[in-house]
A and B are shown apart, each in its own frame.
Chain A
């Protein structure tokens, strides 16, 4: 009766992941778990992420020891009923084959994880589209200095039942480094043109930090096109912002400064990997990036304060809106959510910094699925 046994395998998160390292098991062998329980932590190209249980069960056998590095799809553990005989589990482990995608699947998968480019008024805009065309798509807008890869733990999960699109905003990632005024109005205009070009009539819109202010502004301008709005640690809810982060990020040119600045983003700095630091450095070394970031920072955070307010826009919206914040956010204080708490759903997550969608990916994915599921 091996049909009652199930495998936990190495997940694929993000564009470039080919293998992952098991950092720690949160459950011991033999322990029972419920949906949403943390099972183990895996080190990725950005931060260490948690694998959560999707169902309930018993962790009958841990196959991958802590510290081991394994390819995507490799067997990490076996889930079985508490009374499953050991011999049956042994047979399951020895009979387990890493699913080698057929060549057709590989092409399909590769295409599915390949970024594409739009031409917006002669300027390049890079995006990643994942998921089936069915349903109302979800659009992701990243924050200052980030790129579409910041949704690596969210986009694959949300793409299971809808089309998802993550953009690189102008000045960021693989998009043009010419940002014009770089202000709220000009960036919103680019996003609006981009979704129109992609034929998206209506969308679930998710934005983080600066991308949150963009998302809210777009929703206020085009409420008929936005089904739901998820704002993660958004800009525009209050004047405070960490000047040492903004200035430090713009200035950082070496590994150490960059690491120090990135550590401010998260509750637990030990989760930030060397690759995440290296990726930011590689982005920052590109011609035009420092100038683009300076322009955007001047337009958004003049004199070290937030110059944009979206409170009126958000409270006036007549559509489902949720705000997600990390209680330990050191970039924009979580208290800013109080400004809208009377009108919209606010979720403040414990032990979480400015990147809830990475630090608490499972929780944030659930909240995004929930709100999108309602419409």
Chain B
């Protein structure tokens, strides 16, 4: 077992599955990485280095560079999936989902249901989420809640390298379309990752930390901010239980509800916008199914309902941070009706 980055974990997952199953292909903009440059193909290994080495080992029939046209990438991948391949398509920024939404929302997600259950669409769409690089409003969003709201799609949002590898292998072996969200600031995060292939089942949350006072649910980068806040709060005598759902569709409702039944207090932290988002969805779930257990109102700590600002100072205010999370937990913990 070695310590690996999320980037390495994802690359390993792709290599494992491409070796295991010749039907697995990779398709997207510049996935060979370096075409047309002095170093040639594979010089970069995709814009993020995740697909490094794939073109050399698997060739251009399985590692397909496309023109910059998201609707064609998703259309080709959906068609390939429904006719027997298992494509891993790359939508470089999830912000571009609008350009190809018909292919995802009305084709890929619906095939199984439009053809009497006879069609399968084993398609994975890898896509980047997250603010924090001053990339402005069109390259900084985290729209996993939009994917989550579409029946027929599964959605994974890993927070660490161990989960990233296991969830990506599970996504590739899954017979339904999976949107796989990678946070753009987390590719270099390291943790221990087995060299062997493994799968993490969808709909099984990870309990990151045990605690009896307040339940905090968070995804992706927010898991790390929440852990920071929980360390501080523990010093004050407040023990937080941190739940990382890992997939938003399916969602592990039981783990969240069981925890709130015990703590009676819930804070949901989400880097995405609040209206019709995951924080709102989980708050509603708990209000609906664990109302009697609640000893304080549910608090949501999210981005505001506004596009991601370009100015670094404003962007910093936009993203929930450990201080805001800790303040919300203190408020919920000290609540007196």
Contacts and interface: CB of A to CB of B under 8 A. Distances in A.
A285 B199 contact: yes
A175 to B, nearest CB: 11
A135 B125 CA distance: 59
Contact of B197 (A174, A253, A254, A287): A287
B145 to A, nearest CB: 25
Interface string A265-302: 00000000010000000100111100000000000000
B238 interface: no
B196 A286 contact: yes
Interface in A152-202: 174, 177
The main secondary structure of chain B at its interface with chain A is loop
B198 A285 contact: yes
B207 A287 contact: no
A255 interface: yes
Nearest to A256: B254
Given A174-B1, A282-B198, A287-B196, A274 B210 contact: yes
Contact of B207 (A174, A255, A285, A286): A255
A285 B204 contact: no
A255 B162 CA distance: 16
B231 to A, nearest CB: 11
User: Which of A253, A274, A282 is the most central at the interface, judged by chain B CB atoms within 10 Å of its CB?
Assistant: A282
B201 A254 contact: yes
A287 B198 contact: yes
Interface in B173-224: 194, 196-201, 204, 207, 210
Contacts of B207: 255, 274
B194 A282 contact: yes
Interface band, chain A: 10 to 19
B28 interface: no
A286 B201 contact: no
Contacts of A174: 1
A159 B207 CA distance: 35
B248 to A, nearest CB: 18
Contacts of B255: 255
B53 interface: no
A285 B166 contact: yes
A92 to B, nearest CB: 27
A159 B166 CA distance: 36
A274 B194 CA distance: 19
B204 A286 contact: no
B196 A255 contact: no
Contacts of A285: 166, 198-200
Interface string B254-278: 1100000000000000000000000
Interface string B279-314: 000000000000000000000000000000000000
A371 B255 CA distance: 47
B197 A286 contact: yes
Contacts of A256: 254
Given A174-B1, A274-B210, A255 B197 contact: no
A143 B258 CA distance: 32
Contacts of B199: 285, 287
Nearest to B200: A285
Nearest to B196: A286
A87 B302 CA distance: 54
Given A174-B1, A285-B166, A254 B196 contact: no
Interface string A223-234: 000000000000
B210 A286 contact: no
Interface in A235-257: 253-256
A286 B204 CA distance: 16
A256 B199 CA distance: 17
B198 A255 contact: no
Contacts of A282: 162, 194, 198
A293 to B, nearest CB: 15
Contacts of B194: 282, 286
A225 B201 CA distance: 45
Contacts of B204: 254-255
Contacts of A287: 196-199
B24 to A, nearest CB: 15
Contacts of B201: 253-254
Nearest to B197: A287
A174 B207 CA distance: 24
Interface string B94-130: 0000000000000000000000000000000000000
Interface string B138-152: 000000000000000
A254 B204 CA distance: 7
Given A174-B1, A286-B196, 14 more contacts: A177-B196, A253-B201, A254-B201, A255-B204, A282-B162, A282-B198, A285-B166, A285-B198, A285-B200, A286-B194, A286-B197, A286-B198, A287-B196, A287-B198
14 contacts: A174-B1, A253-B201, A255-B207, A256-B254, A282-B194, A285-B166, A286-B196, A286-B197, A286-B198, A287-B196, A287-B197, A287-B198, A287-B199, A288-B196
Q: Nearest 7 pairs between A and B by C-beta?
A: A285-B198, A287-B197, A286-B198, A286-B196, A254-B204, A285-B199, A274-B210
